[in-house]
A and B are shown apart, each in its own frame.
Chain A
Protein backbone atom coordinates (compact mmCIF):
# COMPACT_ATOMS: atom_id res chain seq x y z
CA UNK A 1 0.00 0.00 0.00
CA UNK A 2 2.75 2.40 1.08
CA UNK A 3 4.97 1.35 -1.83
CA UNK A 4 2.06 1.81 -4.22
CA UNK A 5 1.38 5.32 -2.94
CA UNK A 6 5.07 6.17 -3.27
CA UNK A 7 5.21 4.90 -6.87
CA UNK A 8 2.03 6.74 -7.80
CA UNK A 9 3.29 9.98 -6.25
CA UNK A 10 6.67 9.60 -7.99
CA UNK A 11 5.06 8.97 -11.38
CA UNK A 12 2.62 11.85 -11.05
CA UNK A 13 5.46 14.11 -9.89
CA UNK A 14 7.44 13.14 -12.98
CA UNK A 15 4.68 13.33 -15.61
CA UNK A 16 2.87 16.38 -14.29
CA UNK A 17 6.23 18.08 -13.76
CA UNK A 18 7.18 17.36 -17.38
CA UNK A 19 3.79 18.62 -18.57
CA UNK A 20 4.11 21.99 -16.82
CA UNK A 21 7.82 22.48 -17.51
CA UNK A 22 7.24 24.52 -20.72
CA UNK A 23 4.79 26.73 -18.82
CA UNK A 24 7.35 27.19 -16.05
CA UNK A 25 9.87 28.24 -18.72
CA UNK A 26 7.41 30.87 -20.00
CA UNK A 27 6.90 32.30 -16.51
CA UNK A 28 10.56 32.15 -15.44
CA UNK A 29 12.21 33.48 -18.60
CA UNK A 30 9.79 36.41 -18.68
CA UNK A 31 10.77 37.25 -15.08
CA UNK A 32 14.17 38.45 -16.33
CA UNK A 33 12.49 40.76 -18.85
CA UNK A 34 10.08 42.15 -16.28
CA UNK A 35 12.62 42.64 -13.49
CA UNK A 36 15.16 44.36 -15.75
CA UNK A 37 12.71 46.09 -18.16
CA UNK A 38 14.77 44.52 -20.90
CA UNK A 39 13.14 43.29 -24.07
CA UNK A 40 15.37 41.48 -26.57
CA UNK A 41 14.41 42.03 -30.18
CA UNK A 42 12.39 45.17 -29.52
CA UNK A 43 14.68 47.13 -31.85
CA UNK A 44 13.61 44.88 -34.74
CA UNK A 45 9.89 45.59 -34.39
CA UNK A 46 8.07 45.34 -37.71
CA UNK A 47 5.29 47.83 -38.09
CA UNK A 48 2.60 47.96 -40.78
CA UNK A 49 -0.24 50.41 -41.33
CA UNK A 50 -3.28 50.26 -43.53
CA UNK A 51 -6.69 51.84 -43.83
CA UNK A 52 -9.95 49.93 -44.13
CA UNK A 53 -13.61 50.74 -43.95
CA UNK A 54 -15.42 49.25 -40.97
CA UNK A 55 -18.81 50.60 -41.97
CA UNK A 56 -21.57 49.95 -41.35
CA UNK A 57 -20.72 50.52 -37.71
CA UNK A 58 -22.81 48.85 -35.02
CA UNK A 59 -25.61 50.94 -33.56
CA UNK A 60 -25.20 52.72 -30.23
CA UNK A 61 -21.40 52.85 -30.10
CA UNK A 62 -21.54 56.41 -28.78
CA UNK A 63 -23.40 55.35 -25.66
CA UNK A 64 -21.49 52.18 -24.84
CA UNK A 65 -18.37 51.71 -22.73
CA UNK A 66 -16.42 48.91 -21.08
CA UNK A 67 -17.26 45.30 -21.89
CA UNK A 68 -20.49 46.03 -23.83
CA UNK A 69 -18.53 48.38 -26.11
CA UNK A 70 -15.87 45.72 -26.71
CA UNK A 71 -18.45 43.01 -27.42
CA UNK A 72 -20.24 45.32 -29.86
CA UNK A 73 -17.01 46.23 -31.65
CA UNK A 74 -15.71 42.69 -32.00
CA UNK A 75 -17.71 41.60 -35.10
CA UNK A 76 -16.62 44.76 -36.93
CA UNK A 77 -13.00 44.19 -35.89
CA UNK A 78 -13.14 40.60 -37.12
CA UNK A 79 -14.53 41.78 -40.46
CA UNK A 80 -11.53 44.11 -40.67
CA UNK A 81 -9.22 41.15 -40.00
CA UNK A 82 -8.24 42.25 -36.48
CA UNK A 83 -8.30 39.41 -33.97
CA UNK A 84 -7.16 39.27 -30.37
CA UNK A 85 -7.73 40.53 -26.86
CA UNK A 86 -9.26 44.01 -26.92
CA UNK A 87 -7.85 46.37 -24.30
CA UNK A 88 -9.21 49.59 -22.82
CA UNK A 89 -10.92 51.56 -25.61
CA UNK A 90 -10.21 55.30 -25.51
CA UNK A 91 -12.59 57.85 -26.93
CA UNK A 92 -11.13 61.00 -28.52
CA UNK A 93 -14.22 63.15 -28.21
CA UNK A 94 -13.14 66.14 -30.30
CA UNK A 95 -11.87 64.02 -33.20
CA UNK A 96 -14.80 61.56 -32.81
CA UNK A 97 -12.35 58.65 -32.90
CA UNK A 98 -12.22 55.40 -30.95
CA UNK A 99 -8.70 54.13 -30.19
CA UNK A 100 -8.94 50.35 -29.89
CA UNK A 101 -5.87 48.39 -28.74
CA UNK A 102 -5.91 44.71 -29.67
CA UNK A 103 -3.28 42.23 -28.46
CA UNK A 104 -2.23 38.79 -29.62
CA UNK A 105 0.86 37.49 -27.75
CA UNK A 106 3.74 38.91 -29.81
CA UNK A 107 1.65 41.42 -31.73
CA UNK A 108 0.08 44.76 -30.87
CA UNK A 109 -2.56 46.33 -33.07
CA UNK A 110 -4.09 49.77 -32.62
CA UNK A 111 -7.24 50.57 -34.54
CA UNK A 112 -8.15 54.25 -34.86
CA UNK A 113 -11.79 54.14 -35.83
CA UNK A 114 -13.32 57.34 -37.18
CA UNK A 115 -16.93 57.25 -36.06
CA UNK A 116 -18.22 59.71 -38.64
CA UNK A 117 -17.56 57.50 -41.68
CA UNK A 118 -16.34 54.17 -40.23
CA UNK A 119 -12.85 54.51 -41.68
CA UNK A 120 -10.25 52.70 -39.60
CA UNK A 121 -6.49 53.11 -39.58
CA UNK A 122 -4.96 49.85 -38.44
CA UNK A 123 -1.38 49.90 -37.16
CA UNK A 124 0.16 46.52 -36.41
CA UNK A 125 3.46 45.95 -34.59
CA UNK A 126 5.09 42.53 -34.52
CA UNK A 127 6.83 42.77 -31.14
CA UNK A 128 8.44 39.35 -30.92
CA UNK A 129 8.59 36.26 -28.75
CA UNK A 130 10.05 37.99 -25.65
CA UNK A 131 7.10 40.35 -25.62
CA UNK A 132 4.74 37.43 -26.12
CA UNK A 133 6.17 35.78 -22.99
CA UNK A 134 5.67 38.99 -21.00
CA UNK A 135 2.10 39.34 -22.28
CA UNK A 136 1.35 35.76 -21.25
CA UNK A 137 3.06 36.23 -17.86
CA UNK A 138 0.87 39.25 -17.11
CA UNK A 139 -2.37 37.72 -18.39
CA UNK A 140 -5.03 37.97 -17.21
CA UNK A 141 -3.52 40.07 -14.41
CA UNK A 142 -5.10 42.27 -11.82
CA UNK A 143 -6.17 45.26 -13.91
CA UNK A 144 -9.47 45.73 -15.75
CA UNK A 145 -11.20 42.52 -14.68
CA UNK A 146 -14.45 43.77 -16.25
CA UNK A 147 -13.01 44.01 -19.74
CA UNK A 148 -10.17 41.45 -19.72
CA UNK A 149 -10.35 37.96 -21.17
CA UNK A 150 -12.68 38.98 -23.99
CA UNK A 151 -10.90 36.73 -26.49
CA UNK A 152 -11.49 32.97 -26.29
CA UNK A 153 -7.80 32.07 -26.53
CA UNK A 154 -6.85 34.34 -23.63
CA UNK A 155 -9.60 32.73 -21.56
CA UNK A 156 -7.99 29.38 -22.36
CA UNK A 157 -4.64 30.85 -21.30
CA UNK A 158 -6.16 31.89 -17.97
CA UNK A 159 -7.18 28.26 -17.38
CA UNK A 160 -3.66 27.18 -18.32
CA UNK A 161 -2.08 29.71 -15.97
CA UNK A 162 -4.36 28.60 -13.14
CA UNK A 163 -3.64 24.93 -13.91
CA UNK A 164 0.09 25.69 -13.83
CA UNK A 165 -0.26 27.10 -10.31
CA UNK A 166 -2.28 24.14 -9.06
CA UNK A 167 0.17 21.69 -10.63
CA UNK A 168 3.14 23.60 -9.16
CA UNK A 169 1.52 23.24 -5.75
CA UNK A 170 1.08 19.50 -6.36
CA UNK A 171 4.61 19.03 -7.71
CA UNK A 172 6.18 20.90 -4.77
CA UNK A 173 4.18 19.02 -2.12
CA UNK A 174 4.84 15.68 -3.78
CA UNK A 175 8.50 16.67 -4.13
CA UNK A 176 8.71 17.31 -0.39
CA UNK A 177 7.18 13.87 0.23
CA UNK A 178 9.60 12.16 -2.19
CA UNK A 179 12.55 13.87 -0.50
CA UNK A 180 11.33 13.02 3.01
CA UNK A 181 11.15 9.32 2.13
CA UNK A 182 14.90 9.36 1.37
CA UNK A 183 16.39 9.08 4.85
CA UNK A 184 19.93 9.76 3.64
CA UNK A 185 18.93 13.19 2.32
CA UNK A 186 16.84 14.31 5.26
CA UNK A 187 19.48 16.15 7.27
CA UNK A 188 20.88 18.23 4.38
CA UNK A 189 17.38 18.77 3.04
CA UNK A 190 16.13 20.03 6.39
CA UNK A 191 19.03 22.47 6.64
CA UNK A 192 18.28 23.82 3.15
CA UNK A 193 14.55 23.98 3.80
CA UNK A 194 15.29 25.92 6.98
CA UNK A 195 17.77 28.18 5.21
CA UNK A 196 15.22 28.86 2.46
CA UNK A 197 12.49 29.62 5.02
CA UNK A 198 14.84 31.91 6.93
CA UNK A 199 15.85 33.77 3.74
CA UNK A 200 12.25 34.08 2.63
CA UNK A 201 10.76 35.29 5.91
CA UNK A 202 13.84 37.44 6.58
CA UNK A 203 13.55 39.36 3.30
CA UNK A 204 9.75 39.65 3.54
CA UNK A 205 10.00 40.90 7.13
CA UNK A 206 12.61 43.49 6.15
CA UNK A 207 10.47 44.69 3.24
CA UNK A 208 7.32 45.08 5.31
CA UNK A 209 8.71 46.57 8.53
Chain B
Protein backbone atom coordinates (compact mmCIF):
# COMPACT_ATOMS: atom_id res chain seq x y z
CA UNK B 1 0.00 0.00 0.00
CA UNK B 2 1.53 3.35 -0.95
CA UNK B 3 2.36 5.69 1.86
CA UNK B 4 0.25 8.79 2.19
CA UNK B 5 3.43 10.89 2.10
CA UNK B 6 4.70 9.41 -1.19
CA UNK B 7 3.21 11.93 -3.62
CA UNK B 8 4.62 14.79 -1.56
CA UNK B 9 8.10 13.27 -1.31
CA UNK B 10 8.10 12.35 -5.00
CA UNK B 11 7.22 15.93 -5.84
CA UNK B 12 9.94 17.22 -3.55
CA UNK B 13 12.43 14.82 -5.13
CA UNK B 14 11.48 15.95 -8.66
CA UNK B 15 11.80 19.57 -7.51
CA UNK B 16 15.25 18.82 -6.07
CA UNK B 17 16.37 17.12 -9.30
CA UNK B 18 15.13 20.03 -11.41
CA UNK B 19 16.88 22.63 -9.28
CA UNK B 20 20.05 20.59 -8.96
CA UNK B 21 20.29 20.65 -12.76
CA UNK B 22 19.40 24.33 -13.03
CA UNK B 23 21.87 25.34 -10.32
CA UNK B 24 24.58 23.29 -12.03
CA UNK B 25 24.14 25.56 -15.07
CA UNK B 26 23.72 28.75 -13.09
CA UNK B 27 26.67 28.31 -10.73
CA UNK B 28 28.87 27.20 -13.63
CA UNK B 29 27.95 30.25 -15.69
CA UNK B 30 28.44 32.66 -12.79
CA UNK B 31 31.86 31.23 -11.97
CA UNK B 32 33.00 30.85 -15.58
CA UNK B 33 35.49 33.74 -15.66
CA UNK B 34 36.84 32.98 -12.20
CA UNK B 35 37.40 29.32 -13.14
CA UNK B 36 39.13 30.30 -16.37
CA UNK B 37 41.40 32.67 -14.48
CA UNK B 38 42.46 30.12 -11.86
CA UNK B 39 42.82 27.28 -14.39
CA UNK B 40 44.86 29.36 -16.81
CA UNK B 41 47.00 31.01 -14.13
CA UNK B 42 47.63 27.59 -12.58
CA UNK B 43 48.96 26.43 -15.92
CA UNK B 44 51.23 29.47 -16.16
CA UNK B 45 52.51 28.97 -12.60
CA UNK B 46 53.33 25.36 -13.40
CA UNK B 47 55.37 26.41 -16.43
CA UNK B 48 57.74 29.18 -15.34
CA UNK B 49 59.91 28.34 -18.35
CA UNK B 50 57.28 29.64 -20.78
CA UNK B 51 59.10 32.76 -21.96
CA UNK B 52 56.02 34.53 -23.27
CA UNK B 53 54.58 34.74 -19.75
CA UNK B 54 57.69 36.51 -18.41
CA UNK B 55 56.78 39.59 -16.39
CA UNK B 56 59.55 40.47 -13.96
CA UNK B 57 62.31 41.19 -16.47
CA UNK B 58 59.95 43.46 -18.45
CA UNK B 59 58.72 45.43 -15.43
CA UNK B 60 58.77 49.23 -15.44
CA UNK B 61 60.46 50.76 -12.44
CA UNK B 62 60.08 54.17 -10.90
CA UNK B 63 61.77 55.55 -7.82
CA UNK B 64 60.87 58.63 -5.87
CA UNK B 65 61.28 60.22 -2.46
CA UNK B 66 58.77 62.25 -0.48
CA UNK B 67 58.86 64.16 2.75
CA UNK B 68 56.89 62.35 5.41
CA UNK B 69 55.70 63.28 8.86
CA UNK B 70 56.98 60.89 11.50
CA UNK B 71 54.02 58.93 12.91
CA UNK B 72 53.09 60.27 16.34
CA UNK B 73 53.21 58.32 19.62
CA UNK B 74 49.54 57.45 19.22
CA UNK B 75 50.44 55.38 16.11
CA UNK B 76 51.57 52.19 17.81
CA UNK B 77 53.07 49.12 16.16
CA UNK B 78 54.58 48.37 12.76
CA UNK B 79 51.23 47.83 11.02
CA UNK B 80 49.78 51.17 12.15
CA UNK B 81 53.00 53.00 11.25
CA UNK B 82 53.12 51.34 7.82
CA UNK B 83 49.50 52.34 7.19
CA UNK B 84 50.24 55.93 8.20
CA UNK B 85 53.25 56.13 5.86
CA UNK B 86 51.23 54.56 3.02
CA UNK B 87 48.49 57.14 3.59
CA UNK B 88 51.02 59.96 3.34
CA UNK B 89 52.58 58.46 0.19
CA UNK B 90 49.21 57.68 -1.40
CA UNK B 91 49.89 53.94 -1.69
CA UNK B 92 47.26 51.25 -1.19
CA UNK B 93 47.71 47.49 -1.11
CA UNK B 94 48.64 44.49 0.99
CA UNK B 95 51.58 44.97 3.33
CA UNK B 96 54.30 42.34 3.14
CA UNK B 97 56.81 42.08 5.97
CA UNK B 98 60.13 40.92 4.64
CA UNK B 99 62.69 42.39 7.04
CA UNK B 100 63.05 42.56 10.79
CA UNK B 101 63.29 46.05 12.18
CA UNK B 102 66.49 46.69 14.09
CA UNK B 103 66.74 50.49 14.03
CA UNK B 104 63.60 52.33 15.24
CA UNK B 105 64.37 55.30 12.94
CA UNK B 106 64.48 53.09 9.82
CA UNK B 107 61.43 51.28 8.58
CA UNK B 108 61.32 49.00 5.53
CA UNK B 109 58.39 47.11 4.15
CA UNK B 110 56.75 46.09 0.89
CA UNK B 111 53.27 46.73 -0.39
CA UNK B 112 51.76 44.59 -3.12
CA UNK B 113 48.69 44.45 -5.19
CA UNK B 114 48.25 42.61 -8.48
CA UNK B 115 50.42 44.32 -11.07
CA UNK B 116 52.22 46.63 -8.63
CA UNK B 117 55.06 46.16 -6.15
CA UNK B 118 56.14 48.96 -3.79
CA UNK B 119 59.40 48.74 -1.85
CA UNK B 120 59.22 51.42 0.85
CA UNK B 121 62.03 52.71 3.04
CA UNK B 122 61.09 55.31 5.62
CA UNK B 123 63.82 57.29 7.35
CA UNK B 124 62.28 58.94 10.41
CA UNK B 125 65.46 60.92 11.20
CA UNK B 126 65.46 62.58 7.76
CA UNK B 127 61.66 62.53 7.54
CA UNK B 128 61.88 61.03 4.08
CA UNK B 129 60.09 58.14 2.49
CA UNK B 130 61.80 56.42 -0.46
CA UNK B 131 59.64 54.36 -2.78
CA UNK B 132 60.71 51.94 -5.50
CA UNK B 133 57.73 50.98 -7.58
CA UNK B 134 57.67 48.10 -10.05
CA UNK B 135 54.74 47.68 -12.41
CA UNK B 136 54.39 44.39 -14.27
CA UNK B 137 52.46 43.30 -17.35
CA UNK B 138 49.19 41.34 -17.60
CA UNK B 139 50.99 37.98 -17.14
CA UNK B 140 52.30 39.22 -13.82
CA UNK B 141 48.80 40.31 -12.82
CA UNK B 142 47.35 36.91 -13.73
CA UNK B 143 50.02 35.06 -11.73
CA UNK B 144 49.58 37.29 -8.69
CA UNK B 145 45.80 36.90 -8.70
CA UNK B 146 46.22 33.14 -8.34
CA UNK B 147 48.21 33.45 -5.12
CA UNK B 148 47.03 36.79 -3.70
CA UNK B 149 45.73 35.68 -0.30
CA UNK B 150 47.71 38.02 1.96
CA UNK B 151 48.87 35.10 4.09
CA UNK B 152 51.56 32.47 3.89
CA UNK B 153 51.43 29.01 5.41
CA UNK B 154 54.94 29.24 6.88
CA UNK B 155 54.96 32.92 7.91
CA UNK B 156 52.46 33.89 10.63
CA UNK B 157 53.74 37.50 10.64
CA UNK B 158 52.02 38.24 7.34
CA UNK B 159 48.29 38.67 7.87
CA UNK B 160 45.63 40.12 5.57
CA UNK B 161 45.60 43.86 6.18
CA UNK B 162 43.93 45.27 3.06
CA UNK B 163 40.17 45.15 2.64
CA UNK B 164 40.38 44.08 -1.01
CA UNK B 165 42.76 41.22 -0.19
CA UNK B 166 40.07 39.85 2.10
CA UNK B 167 37.45 40.30 -0.63
CA UNK B 168 39.62 38.37 -3.08
CA UNK B 169 40.52 35.67 -0.53
CA UNK B 170 36.86 35.09 0.33
CA UNK B 171 36.08 35.07 -3.39
CA UNK B 172 38.55 32.16 -3.65
CA UNK B 173 36.59 30.38 -0.91
CA UNK B 174 33.34 31.01 -2.74
CA UNK B 175 34.77 29.75 -6.04
CA UNK B 176 36.11 26.61 -4.32
CA UNK B 177 32.70 26.03 -2.68
CA UNK B 178 31.01 26.58 -6.04
CA UNK B 179 33.31 24.04 -7.68
CA UNK B 180 32.54 21.52 -4.92
CA UNK B 181 28.86 22.04 -5.65
CA UNK B 182 29.48 21.57 -9.39
CA UNK B 183 31.19 18.22 -8.71
CA UNK B 184 28.50 16.97 -6.32
CA UNK B 185 25.60 18.10 -8.52
CA UNK B 186 27.20 16.44 -11.56
CA UNK B 187 27.57 13.16 -9.63
CA UNK B 188 23.89 13.30 -8.76
CA UNK B 189 22.86 14.01 -12.37
CA UNK B 190 25.05 11.17 -13.63
CA UNK B 191 23.48 8.69 -11.20
CA UNK B 192 20.06 9.60 -12.61
CA UNK B 193 21.16 8.35 -16.06
CA UNK B 194 21.01 4.52 -15.87
CA UNK B 195 22.49 3.95 -19.35
CA UNK B 196 25.51 6.13 -18.51
CA UNK B 197 26.31 4.59 -15.16
CA UNK B 198 28.87 2.01 -16.25
CA UNK B 199 31.02 4.19 -18.54
CA UNK B 200 30.66 7.05 -16.03
CA UNK B 201 31.79 4.77 -13.20
CA UNK B 202 34.84 3.77 -15.27
CA UNK B 203 35.76 7.43 -15.87
CA UNK B 204 35.16 8.41 -12.25
CA UNK B 205 36.93 5.30 -10.95
CA UNK B 206 39.99 5.95 -13.09
CA UNK B 207 40.19 9.57 -11.95
CA UNK B 208 39.71 8.57 -8.31
CA UNK B 209 42.35 5.85 -8.52
CA UNK B 210 44.93 8.18 -10.07
CA UNK B 211 44.19 10.87 -7.52
CA UNK B 212 44.28 8.45 -4.61
CA UNK B 213 47.73 7.24 -5.68
CA UNK B 214 49.07 10.77 -5.23
CA UNK B 215 47.07 11.75 -2.13
CA UNK B 216 47.53 8.53 -0.15
CA UNK B 217 49.35 5.90 -2.19
CA UNK B 218 52.82 7.39 -2.59
CA UNK B 219 53.27 7.44 1.18
CA UNK B 220 52.48 3.73 1.34
CA UNK B 221 54.63 2.75 -1.61
CA UNK B 222 57.69 4.76 -0.53
Check A37 against B153 for contact (C-beta < 8 Å).
Answer: yes
B149 within 8 A of A: yes
Interface of B, secondary structure class, is helix
Give which listed residue, B32, B172, B177, contacts A193 with CB less than 8 A: B32
* Residue contact B211 to A26, C-beta cutoff 8 Å: yes
* B35–A168 touching, CB < 8 Å: yes
Chain B: minimal CB distance from A203 (Å): 6
* Closest CB in chain A relative to B92 CB, distance in Å: 10
A129 on the interface (CB 8 Å rule)?
A: yes
- B37 surroundings in chain A (CB, below 8 A): 200
Q: How many A-B residue pairs have CB under 8 A?
A: 190
Given the complex, which residues of A lie within 8 Å of B180, measured CB to CB?
Answer: 25, 28-29
Q: Is the CB of A88 closer than 8 A to any CB of chain B?
A: no
Residues in A whose Cβ lies below 8 Å from that of B216: 106, 129, 132
The verdict on B130 contacting chain A, using a C-beta distance below 8 Å, is no
A197 to B31, CA, bound (A): 8
- Over the window 145-156 of chain A, the binary record of Cβ atoms lying under 8 Å from chain B Cβ atoms (1 yes, 0 no) is 100000001000
17 residue pairs bridging A and B, Cβ less than 8 Å apart: A14-B190, A16-B203, A18-B203, A21-B204, A24-B179, A25-B180, A27-B179, A28-B179, A84-B222, A106-B218, A132-B215, A145-B49, A153-B214, A172-B28, A192-B30, A193-B32, A196-B34
Which residues of A approach B to under 8 Å, CB–CB?
11, 14-29, 31-37, 39, 83-84, 104-107, 126, 129, 132-134, 136, 140-143, 145, 153, 157-158, 160-162, 165, 168-169, 172, 175-176, 179, 182, 185, 188-189, 192-193, 195-197, 199-201, 203-204, 206-208
The 7 closest A-B pairs by CB, nearest first: A196-B30, A83-B222, A22-B211, A31-B176, A200-B33, A28-B176, A19-B207
